[in-house]
Amino acid sequence: MSNRYSALALARHALDPDLSWPRAWRSPDPQRSYDVVIVGGGGHGLATAHYLAKNHGIRRVAVLERAYIGSGNVGRNTTLIRSNYMMGGNTNFFEFSLKLWEGLSHELNFNCMVSQRGQIVLAVSPVQLDVYARRGNIMRLNGIDAELLDRGEVMKLLPYLDYSDEARWPIWGGILQRRAGTVRHDAVAWGYARAADSAGVDIIENCEVTGFTIEGGQVTGVETSRGRIAAGKVGIAVAGHSSQVAALAGLRLPVESHILQAFVTEPVKPIVDHVVSWGAELFYLSQSDKGGLVFGGHIDGFNTYTQRGQFAKIRGVAECAVSLMPFISRLRLLRHWGGIQDMTPDGSPFICRTPIRNLYLNGGWCYQGFKATPASGWTFAHTIAHDEEHDLNRCYTLDRFEKGGELDEYGTGNWTYKQ
Amino acid sequence: MTRFHRRPEGGHIDRARQVSFTLNGRSYSGFAGDTLASALLANDVTLIGRSFKYHRPRGLVSAGVEEPNALFTLGSGARTEPNIPGTIVDLVDGLEARTQNAWPSVGFDLMAVNQLAAPLFQSGFYYKTFMGPAKGSWMFYEPFIRRAAGLGAATRAFDPDRYETRHQHCDVLVVGAGAAGLAAAISAGRSGARVFLAEQDALLGGGLLAEPAMESWRQARLAELQAMPNVQMATRCTAMGLYDDNLVVLVERRDHARPDASKGQPRQVSISLRAKAIVFATGAIERPLVFGDNDRPGIMLASAVRTYLNRFAIVPGRRAVVATNNDTAYPLAAELAAAGVAVMLVDSRPTTAAVAPGVNVLADSSVATVAGRGHIQQVTLSGAHRATFDCDVLAVSGGWSPTLHLTSHTGIKPRYDAAIAAFVPGGFAKTHFGAGAVMGTFGLRAAIIEGAKAGVEAAGAAGFATSDGAMTTIQGNDPTYAITVAPPVLSGKGKAFLDFQSDVTAKDVKIAHQEGYQSVEHLKRYTTLGMGTDQGKTSNVNALAAMSELRGMQIPAVGTTTFRPPYTGVAMGAIAGRGIGKHFRPTRLSPLHDWHRANGATFIEAGPWLRVYYYAWAGDTVATAYVKEMELVRRGVGLSDVSTLGKIDVQGPDAAEFLNRVYVNGFAKLPVGKARYGVMLNDDGVVLDDGTTTRISETQFYLTTTTAQAGEVMSWLEFLLQTQWRDLRVHVTSLTDEWAGMALAGPKSREALQLAFPGVDVSNHGLPYMGCLEFDYEGAQIRLLRLSFSGELAYEIHLPADYSIPLWEHILRVAAPLGIKPYGLEALASLRIEKGHVAGLELDHRNTLDDLGLGKMAAKEKPFVGKELRMRENLQAPDRWSLVGLELLEPGKSLRGGAILFAATDEIKGHGRGYITSVTWSVELQKTIALGLYQGGLKNVGAEIICAFPLKDEFVRARIVSPHFVDPKGERLNA
Amino acid sequence: MLERRSALAGTKEIASSRVRLGEVRGFTLTQVAALDDPVLSDIRAVLGDLPQHPFCGEKDGRRIFHTAPHQFWIVGPEADDIGRRLEGMAIVTGLSHSRTRIFVEGPAAPDVLAKVIEIDLHEAVFGPGMFAMTGLHHTPILLHRVTASRFEIYAMRTFAANAWDWLADAALEFV
Amino acid sequence: MRIPCPHCGERDYSEFRYGGDASKQRPAHGSGDIKAWHDFYFLFDNPKGPHAEYWQHVLGCRRWFVLTRNTATNEVGGPA
């Protein structure tokens, strides 16, 4: 019977208790060799496998995951998608990603709950509003939706913010991207896995890569906890641990690993209908479909691989939440957690070849890994298949710092820990 | 007929203090010492909610924080608080509670139709549908899903209550004041260590509160503790999380005391407690049994029935069935019998423990099905005795799960102990200890002894060697604890619930397994098991058991889920404390602030600073006022507050060499008494900051930075001196707070100076451009610099901050005949635009010296920070965007910051050739002008370009000109 | 002569039986730093024995704080010539206007401070005569415990009003 | 996390400012070697384990110092 998901299939299963759904993805043993091995079964790795099969007809692909798929940042982020970028290179890449998001549930036949509820970024000074305007103008000039809001318009859309004189920084206005929003993060990993699997990709969980076999400057396979696997090409997509895995191939990266924390409150009936971001201090919040308010702030600010955050930062984020939206004060925090992410000097990622032939890198995602997932997989698949960067990811190379090609979207300067 | 009723005596309640409260508007009464849950139960209110997905009737399951069902919305108006378990709410007079998730009422809930469609709602159903018909169809379905989800409703009104934070330190923290915790606190306390005993409950005693036989022991221990001044006891105080280096965050709740925010009384206090050692005595949480319709009201955890019976003196009807797979339910059966309840004890194990008289025991039997929708009425058994019994309550015990959440917050994985069918702490850090049920020690006597030992060890770890672990305990041995977990029923009729709150059944786990969501995290995320407000405290282990059954593995092989803080939900306000509203971040004020405020200033936030935007004398809106203030400076003389500039004292024999290294231009040969404009790069060759630095003596410089970068630059200089160039004999100190600064600018500024400081030679000869005079005026040390940000003849007067207001007033007074007035930030920033000075918007960590038209400043010979990396290919590209001036060519239209620039012949799309940073009306040229960055920069002078601002559908023509709109030759400032 | 005007000129002392909050005016704060050890002994020749962090030295009506390696703060009377006497031998920086001196006094003083100050204020750990450079609401302060129940805070002048507001608010429940 | 300031003693990490990898050797002032400066400034070992790093006690004595911390556990101290 068809494995296709639909309301009809659901009804059929409801009526016939003996009918059971097949596995969303198989659990195969690794074969001896593959055309392409992707290291890392997170959103980016699984998306890459999907597009390798779908766009390039490369099906002898294995995705190797150390734990269970989606165990990394795809399941730890705050689920935001947007394409409000102004630097050449970023703008089109992230808009391409947003376009892929818009069709993703259909493409994967898996409801990822792509919710384009709109994101509003709030400016706390006239100067900041000018800076946002520059970004918004660039978006419009590249066919991306953006609207400039004055204080009054923000008050209409977000009546529950603190507009009183008690507010430390007044809200001067904001910029709205209606097509931005949220996505059910786990569904992205599962949906890509299911699609890739049905195209013949082997998804191998609990399989840790312990080394690379490199002959004459060219990668020919990987050593894993489940034995050696030969590969024509190898792609690394393990953001958060890129330095660790790249080191196995003798590479040193422009990356420091930092923890970013995320938070969720108890579920309540609909109360926040947009994604709201604040310019006073990095802070962003949205309400999940389950009803919890999901939010986050800055990285803790020093490199670490522990997935525990510092309480001082937790308090700082709570102060942001309550100061911007005082009603949150009475809601209860249900859970907070941390994810390890690659921070790069300029805050922009890598999707590129490496000094080792047939070894490719996807990482350095800083804050923006989740929203980039579809475009990241799409362009990484292209880069692997054609052994060259696509126009969309041409600026995300490893050597950009040697050339002074930094892509500092937010003007924070070349500091991994200040991005 | 009533089922649950209150006994005339006994329990930890104060019958002398009656408390009245309402549920859904209807009044009830209880006693002081009740929880909302116990009071409702005493009133025989057993149906208190509807389930999340299927809207099944639900009743109380527990008597503690683990409660999955009995969630209420408390309070009203701005104090509305949803999803609060009635089991943790102190009953106070006038308490308003409402049931949730049912319409119109929990008794008759129309949403119960969901139950008909139940098969549709099996786990993961929403991933499989709501996709059609078109792309983005989810946007149509989502609102319905959102409204159906979300448990209770919150309010958007601002929280009127106050929350505090407190920092505290102790030697030994004991978490949990049950038998083990009390013993630990005492033995640790005897060592003289500072002990903090934290208990989440309103009373100290934990499980002892349901053990009548232990009451005298509890009282005696409390007396011992009260006699120890070094022991601090806190009730209603929950340890929410354990963080690095023994930081435990506790949240203390004071609702019961009716705190008054206007008197500064906090509703909750979050305590950041730093402990040298920690004893975890957090106890254990009982698990339900898994069988069909195991969620019916009247089916409660045995420990809960016992707590309601003994602590709250509530008898659960006339007939009770107690179903268990372990020994801990037996005392309850005995106590129920003693209370006159007909008890049937059903034990799934073949052999049973000893039982008290009056208790009928059926071994080798389990609950198969139950009858009764709104409340349980019958139990039908399977196994050895396939009988059916009527009952008013079914008390169940599926074993115990140690409360190890806190112990695992710093990453220590729990270990599965098959003997007790539960996870226990997988190990401890040097300074961590455990005692009692959390360690799997379920006997009281053993727990007390273990607690006393842990207290001694913890005190030792905290540096208090000698302590006395001798502890009065109880006679006789603990009853043995044995448990046999029967495999959970995964099929059969009637939903067998694992997670009551999220409505996750055994069948859902089966489906997850079939579809391959088999790792614990996949199971949780796919079925939402354990994701509710109770965070799966009663469901995690039963779910693991179900999955291990399906996978044919042992539970440890299936794994455990990671516990995340907080242990129980914590009000966001309590975490934030007072760092909200106007106290969100510190506000920084100029030493002249009081004068500004008293003299019609409108302020604007500039980073941490409050600066003067404009003054009332010039107008009542910034748009009109700043132009007047500019005219004042261009035509007469104005005074402006520049105290926010970063100021740094650079002293030492190598001070000149030091500055020579950090600035791109030379400072080694700067003569004493002279100032010089300097630019610093970061190591990457990008501009870090600019400012004017004055040589006070051979070995002392007075360095100024921009307001925005002051902190960065100070830290950077300290970094270089303290870690990289330790050979340089230089010391730096911030003077930003010590010195105030005021800019005196305009053609009449010299006259104003002469009036202000008669006897000081401020002639062009006495004080030439970029010169500096230091003198004493009326007891104040004055540093008078001749430099200009506006391009006019101008000076900066720096002096110790406390003198700034008197001097400011003096200057305004004596120079009044010249028409002097103060001017604000908007005018200051606009005057610099006219002069083409770069500032914050141009110094954005992306631009190079050449981008800002400062390339010529870079020294050819001497090395300087950033000299190497500024030579990188792209940073030297000839077509980089660099600083230009712009003149508006279409009067009546406007230039705007953030506009994107295009050549006249370009198609208006893409990223353009540059952008506008700053715009102003030029009083000098009487037209709108701007600064911006443009591809190729000044090579395009004279070119006509398009300034695109599509956000407002504006496309305006402008001409590229030199950014130096005013006095390009600098005749004015040299005059 | 110009009148000195404090950053807290506009504020009024807060007083109750449990806590008093006010400002100490009219003092000289001189920072003296040595680039090497020999200079330290020159300084000793003028000031006598130098106190070691975290203990505040009291001598000739002056308080001396060891604020950093080879660096001391000397808090003296309004007219103090100590800076001039040290000039030439060490690096001297006048900071009299850079800090605002706030006192918190009374039985509840430690409770007020514990709301915002992270260090252990227990008398056995941070006793009379000790000081610490630490944070108050994100800003650096020097906290000096003068007696068991009196603390003095040297706050940055531009943040003094902020520190005052914060402390006054923290003291509210004790007033 | 607690960080031991060499002058002020142990304090919460929020009193400090992180300054990055301290094991990297800054090229000599004016060395002129762009490649060396690139590697120094832009590349990181980013080890999972002991890490020597700069911190400044910004809310205290303002000293910069080198701290060894295990990035896998946040445990402070031990050999780099």
Give B781's strand partners. Answer: B776
Which chain D residues are closer than 8 Å to C132 by Cβ?
A: 8, 60
Question: Torsion over CA of A16, A18, A19 and A23, rounded to 10 degrees?
Answer: 150
Q: Report pLDDT digits (tens) over B144-173.
A: 889 888 889 999 999 999 999 999 999 999
Enter the tokens of residue B618: 């010039």
Average pLDDT over residues A285-305: 96
Given a contact as 3+ CB pairs under 8 Å, which chains touch A? B, D
Given a contact as 3+ CB pairs under 8 Å, which chains touch D? A, B, C
Enter the tokens of residue B157: 């009104």
Average pLDDT over residues A128-137: 97
Q: Report pLDDT digits (tens) over B19-60.
A: 999 999 999 999 999 999 999 999 999 999 889 888 999 999
Question: For the whole prediction, is pTM greater than 0.95?
Answer: yes
**pLDDT of amino acid B780:** 97
Average pLDDT over residues D13-34: 96
Q: Which residues contact A152 (CB under 8 A, 6 or more apart)?
A: none
Is C97 in CB contact (< 8 Å) with chain B?
A: yes
Nearest to D7 among C53, C138, C139 (CB): C53
Which chain D residues are closer than 8 Å to A243 by Cβ?
A: 44-47
CB contact under 8 A, A308 and B411: yes
**pLDDT of amino acid B604:** 97
Is C149 in CB contact (< 8 Å) with chain D?
A: no
Give A64's strand partners. Answer: A39, A204
> Which pLDDT tens digits describe chain C residue by residue (175 residues)?
999 999 999 999 999 999 999 999 999 999 999 999 999 999 999 999 999 999 999 999 999 999 999 999 999 999 999 999 999 999 999 999 999 999 999 999 999 999 999 999 999 999 999 999 999 999 999 999 999 999 999 999 999 999 999 999 999 999 9
Classify the complex by whether its ipTM is higher than 0.95, answering yes or no.
yes
Q: Report pLDDT digits (tens) over A55-94.
A: 999 999 999 999 999 999 999 999 999 999 999 999 999 9
**What phi and psi, each to the nearest 5 degrees, are found at residue B305?**
-60, -40
Is B151 in CB contact (< 8 Å) with chain A?
A: yes
CB contact under 8 A, D29 and B715: no
Q: 3-class secondary structure for A234-297?
A: EEECCCCCHHHHHHHCCCCECCEEEEEEEEEECCCCCCCCCEEEECCCCEEEEECCCCCEEEEE
pLDDT at residue A8 greater than cutoff 70: yes
pLDDT at residue A2 greater than cutoff 70: no
Between C and D, how many residue pairs show a Cβ–Cβ distance under 8 A? 39
Q: Report pLDDT digits (tens) over A372-397.
A: 999 999 999 999 999 999 999 999 99
CA-based nearest residue to B478, from B445, B435, B522: B445
CB contact under 8 A, C7 and B591: yes
Point out the residues of chain B with pLDDT beneath 50.
none
Q: Report pLDDT digits (tens) over C125-166.
A: 999 999 999 999 999 999 999 999 999 999 999 999 999 999
**pLDDT of amino acid B475:** 80
**pLDDT of amino acid D79:** 46
**pLDDT of amino acid A259:** 97
Band the pLDDT of A1: cuts 50, 70, 90: very low
**pLDDT of amino acid B123:** 81
Hey, how many other C-beta atoms are within 10 angstroms of the C-beta on B144? 10
Q: Give the strand order in the sheet containing B772-777.
A: B772-777, B780-785, B794-800, B739-745, B638-641, B821-822
Is B733 in CB contact (< 8 Å) with chain D?
A: no
* Cα dihedral across residues B821, B827, B833, B834: positive or negative: negative
Is C54 in CB contact (< 8 Å) with chain D?
A: yes
d(CA A389, CA A419): 25
CB contact under 8 A, A265 and B572: yes
CA distance D3 to chain B (A): 10
CB contact under 8 A, B722 and D64: yes
Q: Which residue of B268, B737, B805 to mutate against C (max C Cβ within 10 Å)?
A: B737
CB contact under 8 A, D61 and C133: yes
Enter the tokens of residue B576: 């934030």
Between A and D, how many residue pairs show a Cβ–Cβ distance under 8 A? 66
CB contact under 8 A, A127 and B841: yes
CB contact under 8 A, D71 and A257: yes
CA distance B920 to chain A (A): 13
Look-up of token digits 């794994």: B559
Nearest to A253 among D18, D41, D44 (CB): D44
The alpha carbons of chain B give a radius of gyration, in whole angstroms, of 38
d(CA A39, CA A359): 11
Where residue B463 falls (left for φ over 0; alpha for ψ -120 to 50; beta otherwise) is: left
* Cα dihedral across residues A103, A104, A110, A116: positive or negative: negative
Where residue A323 falls (left for φ over 0; alpha for ψ -120 to 50; beta otherwise) is: alpha
Q: What is the DSSP letter of B181?
A: H
**pLDDT of amino acid A17:** 76
Q: Helix count (H) and strand count (E) of chain C?
A: 4, 11
Enter the tokens of residue A378: 């799409």
Band the pLDDT of D78: cuts 50, 70, 90: low
